[in-house]
Amino acid sequence: MSKCSSTAPFWARKDDGAWSIPKGEYIEGDDPSIPAQREFHVELCKPAPDGSCIHFAPLKQSSGKVFTAFAVSGNLNLEGTFSNTFELEWQRDPEDQAFPEIDRVGWFSVAEAQSKLLKVSSRCWTICLRALEGDAPAGSRSQ
């Protein structure tokens, strides 16, 4: 199963290929797991599960942005999950509107998660599955 989220408003009516894992930016040289845990909490208003962490090798997105992800084996109850909001000028409205950072959270089967995730998140998911199957350490992958 996979926990995924989709950001609003642009992605609100999209489903397959539009879901993402919680993410945020960090300064090069800093430990990226600290902002990852912070962003998980900010986006889901729940702390990230405690557990051993699988670190992935950084992946480059088509935009050139570098994507660093982690997986944690643990239990997460999605009941009561809600999102913080952000403000954005939307559709020529003179006043900014508030939108939830995520519009949905959910658990999916392995196959469903693969089809729902954005390309770079899907690549992380594939690497995570290989690491869990013992194919190779996740950090050694550079796909």
Taking only the tens place, the pLDDT of each residue in 102-125 is 778 888 888 888 888 877 777 777
Query: Which stretches does DSSP call E strand in the chain?
Result: 2-6, 53-55, 59-60, 66-67, 70-72, 85-88, 97-100, 104-108
Q: Of 9-18, 42-51, 94-103, 122-131, which gets the smallest average pLDDT?
A: 9-18
* The dihedral formed by the CA atoms of 60, 1, 129 and 121, expressed in degrees to the nearest 10: -10
Query: Is the confidence at residue 6, as pLDDT, over 60?
Result: no
pLDDT tens per residue, range 24-80: 777 878 888 888 888 888 888 888 888 878 777 888 878 888 777 888 877 888 888
**Which residue matches tokens 């729902």?**
116
